[in-house]
């Protein structure tokens, strides 16, 4: 059996590692480096260059050199406006709103998955040369806050590279796996992962060969690239004021400036001042050459990037809150990602945690090492090690009133399966639409739509009769599959969330922030929906009871109930919460009198004949029985949702033992 490799597919650099015996080893690439730049270029001769060779020629060929492609993986064109406006290469919209990069040298377009595939293939070939054998399987890491679409895109990139991706694991989890392999004491570890394009913070418990993720949070649009961009903007703006020329509008000049900004950022981690020097950067209107020279102090750098560093604080606090832990409960803090070398980040971590960060792990390599260990676990080379990861956001379905009904809560350990049983809310409903959502808000519109599918061919039946089980399965890769099954007929339909139907914009922690900010607003909206649903249910129940009563009611009693129904329908149209509540109460009062009269008639019939009268059956048609029982039970038990389908209960299946 060939080796299974672990790959850290990074925004700026990528790393590949493998288990050799009981020890993970970082594989040196063909250029003699442990890091492979995540850069792909196409020359005028249509030659493809990957890694260091691509980076070296980027200044002379900026429009055909693709870097930081990870930020475009699994995302729609409309979601990446900020990113596409600051790349030297041209980003275009595909016919399905996907991102494509235009290459003038080949007059063709290429997808982010293809670009990543080229990077992975180069690393695969380097590993094959190092090991002297064919490589066909890999474990690839992704940011913890990558959504299903981005995870699918990463798997697709692996397939393009000729790799079977055995597992997608979260980068902070991989880092902890590398750190905890020899640990046997129970420890709570905070992983602060600030890479080139993403930021994750995770809290894990390590001990006795088990690594369990307690909580995770992050920002998929925050990383070292953003710090570089602030330097670019600072220097370019100074140059524009001095010369009237905006370097950001010149692709070649921009590429030179981006590279110089990254170099300055790195230098400022060890020195207090550096100079961005770019001779012959451009020319003035007369064609005279212009030179750029700008001094930047560490203090100035930290000033212009303060807003970026401040964005790290909220995910940190969120992860502690989700795990229900305090700072004093932390045993260890690990820094992951090259951007954590910045003194300001190290100071921030130290001030927030009151602990000196652990620097025994190489922040550039630790994720790939963890991926290699996971690969070793899957291949059977690493024993007595179990990895328990979590899903970062709540998953659920849309129910009546555009309400999000959760099925799997965020920070639930994966792999996992959860199921709920729903029913219809319309008589003889032939199908139900299952709308799958991800997010923390109560209303559907405020969450991310993952996909829709229909369960058709439902038998003709009154509302409330069909039993439809909706099951959510999240595999060890964090990829979701949703199944809907009619328990009566056995008909089944499912959807695996694909990249083309996945989440939009992936500053996913913004969902949690929105939930907090709009909590009161959501509460009021939900109250209005609940009031409307209850009133609709009462109107339906009373109408049916009135019909079933037939001529057993006096004309006066019938008119009183019909008047109450008319007022209830008017209240429903108003959509005012208080008006609907009042309408519901008045209708209940009228329905109660209706039930009393029917019950009295039933008793009278029994007294007259000595047997149960004809009205006995009808007495059960009131608001406390028959069709009305569904509404009453839902209100008291809290497990029934008026929806295009109603929740009847919750089944929690055992988590898979396969990790």
Task: In whole angstroms, give the CA distance from residue 75 to residue 93.
Answer: 11
Task: In whole angstroms, give the CA distance from residue 352 to residue 568.
Answer: 56
Task: In whole angstroms, give the CA distance from residue 277 to residue 24.
Answer: 41
DSSP string, 596-631: HHHHHHHHHHHHHHSS--THHHHHTTSTTSTTHHHH
CA distances from 593 to 469, 546, 632 (A): 38, 12, 17
Q: Among 459, 439, 337, 236, which Cα is nearest to 13's?
A: 337
Residues 6+ apart with CB under 8 A from 635: 534
Residues 6+ apart with CB under 8 A from 461: 424, 427, 428
Residues belonging to the active site: 8, 70, 171, 193
Task: In whole angstroms, give the CA distance from residue 241 to residue 335.
Answer: 38
Task: In whole angstroms, give the CA distance from residue 279 to residue 274.
Answer: 16
Edge-first strand order for the sheet with 403-408 is: 403-408, 395-399, 432-438, 448-455
CA-based torsion, 629, 632, 637, 643: positive or negative: positive
Q: Among 82, 349, 39, which Cα is nearest to 222's?
A: 82
SS3 for 402? coil
SS3 for 293? strand
Task: In whole angstroms, give the CA distance from residue 109 to residue 96.
Answer: 14
Task: In whole angstroms, give the CA distance from residue 31 to residue 293.
Answer: 32
Residue with tokens 């007259």: 608
Task: In whole angstroms, give the CA distance from residue 435 to residue 448.
Answer: 11
The two tokens of residue 522 are 């959501």
Q: What is the CA radius of gyration of the chain?
A: 31
């Amino acid at each position: 059996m060939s080796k299974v490799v672990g790959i850290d597919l990074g925004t700026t650099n990528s790393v590949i590692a493998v288990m050799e015996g009981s020890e993970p080893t970082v594989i040196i690439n063909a250029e003699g480096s442990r890091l492979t730049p995540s850069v792909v270029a196409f020359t005028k001769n249509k030659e493809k260059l990957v890694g260091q060779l691509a980076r070296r020629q980027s200044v002379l060929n900026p429009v055909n050199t693709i870097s930081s492609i990870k930020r475009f993986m699994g995302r729609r064109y409309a979601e990446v406006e900020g990113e596409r406006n600051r790349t030297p290469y041209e980003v275009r919209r595909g016919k399905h709103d996907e991102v494509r990069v235009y290459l003038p040298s080949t007059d063709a377009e290429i997808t982010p998955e293809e670009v990543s595939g080229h990077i992975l293939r180069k690393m695969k070939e380097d590993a094959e040369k190092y090991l002297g054998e064919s490589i066909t399987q890999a474990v690839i890491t992704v940011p913890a806050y990558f959504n299903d679409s981005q995870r699918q895109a990463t798997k697709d990139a692996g397939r393009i590279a000729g790799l079977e991706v055995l597992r997608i694991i979260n980068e902070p989890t991989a880092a902890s796996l590398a750190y905890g392999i020899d640990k046997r004491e129970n420890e709570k570890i905070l992983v602060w992962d600030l890479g080139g394009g993403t930021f994750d913070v995770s809290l894990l418990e390590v001990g006795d060969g088990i690594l369990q993720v307690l909580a995770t949070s992050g920002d998929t649009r925050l990383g070292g690239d953003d710090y570089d961009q602030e330097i670019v903007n600072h220097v370019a703006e100074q140059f524009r004021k001095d010369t009237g020329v905006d370097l950001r509008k010149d692709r070649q000049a921009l590429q030179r400036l981006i590279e110089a900004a990254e170099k300055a950022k790195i230098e400022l981690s060890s020195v207090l001042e550096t100079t961005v020097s770019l001779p012959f950067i451009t020319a003035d209107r007369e064609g005279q050459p212009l030179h750029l020279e700008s001094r930047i102090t560490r203090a100035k750098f930290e000033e212009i990037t303060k807003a970026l560093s401040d964005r790290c604080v909220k995910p940190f606090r969120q992860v502690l809150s989700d795990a229900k832990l305090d700072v004093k409960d932390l045993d260890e803090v690990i820094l992951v990602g090259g951007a954590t070398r910045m003194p300001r980040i190290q100071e921030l971590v130290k001030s927030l945690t009151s602990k000196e960060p652990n620097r025994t792990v190489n922040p550039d390599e630790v994720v790939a090492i963890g991926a290699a260990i996971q690969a070793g676990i899957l291949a059977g080379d690493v024993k007595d090690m179990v990895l328990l990861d979590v899903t970062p956001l709540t998953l659920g379905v849309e129910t009546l009133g555009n309400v999000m009904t959760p099925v799997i809560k965020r920070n639930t350990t994966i792999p996992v399966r959860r199921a709920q049983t729903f029913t219809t809310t319309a008589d003889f409903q032939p199908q139900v639409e299952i709308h799958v959502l991800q997010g923390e808000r109560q209303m559907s519109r405020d969450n991310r739509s993952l996909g829709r599918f229909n369960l058709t061919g439902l038998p003709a039946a009154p509302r409330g009769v069909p039993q439809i089980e909706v099951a959510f399965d999240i595999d060890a890769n964090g990829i979701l599959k949703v199944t809907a099954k009619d328990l009566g007929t056995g008909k089944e339909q499912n959807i695996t969330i694909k990249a083309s139907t996945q989440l939009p914009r992936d500053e996913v922690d913004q969902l949690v922030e929105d939930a907090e900010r709009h909590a009161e607003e959501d509460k009021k909206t939900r109250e209005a929906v609940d009031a409307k649903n209850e009133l609709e249910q009462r109107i339906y129940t009373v109408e049916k009871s009135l019909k079933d009563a037939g001529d057993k009611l006096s004309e006066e009693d019938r008119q009183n109930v019909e008047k109450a129904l008319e007022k209830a329908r008017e209240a429903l149209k108003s959509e005012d919460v208080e008006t609907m509540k009042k309408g519901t109460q008045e209708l209940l009062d009228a329905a109660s009198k209706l039930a009393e009269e029917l019950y009295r008639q039933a008793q009278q019939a029994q007294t007259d004949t000595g047997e149960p009268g004809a009205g006995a059956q009808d007495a059960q048609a009131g608001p406390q029985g028959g069709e009305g029982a569904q509404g009453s039970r839902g209100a008291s038990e809290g497990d029934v949702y008026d929806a295009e389908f109603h929740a009847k209960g919750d089944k929690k299946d055992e988590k898979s033992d396969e990790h």
